[in-house]
Amino acid sequence: MQSPENTREMLRIAAEAADAKGGEDLVALDVSEPLPLVDVFLLVSGSSERNVAAIADEIEDRLHEAGHRRVRREGRSEARWVLLDFGDLIVHVFHAEERVYYGLERLWKDCPVLPVELAEKVAGE
Which residues are CB-contacts of 78 (< 8 A; sequence separation ≥ 6)? 49
Residues 59-94 have pLDDT tens digits of: 999 999 999 999 999 998 899 999 999 999 999 999
- pLDDT of 1 above 50: no
Cα-to-chain-centroid distance, residue 19:
10
Q: Which residue has the higher pLDDT, 118 or 106?
A: 106
Distance CA 65, CA 30 (A): 24
Q: How many CB atoms lie within 10 A of CB 82?
A: 27
Residues 34-49 have pLDDT tens digits of: 988 899 999 999 999 9
Cα-to-chain-centroid distance, residue 58:
11
Q: Which residue has the higher pLDDT, 98 or 121?
A: 98
Identify the H or E element spanning 32. none
Residue ranges per structural domain of the chain: 4-114
Which CATH architecture group holds 4-114?
A: 2-Layer Sandwich (3.30)
- What's the pLDDT at 101? 95
CA 13 vs CA 62, 77, 80, 102, 118: distances in Å: 7, 24, 22, 25, 9
Which residues are CB-contacts of 29 (< 8 A; sequence separation ≥ 6)? 40, 41, 43, 105, 108, 111, 112, 113, 114
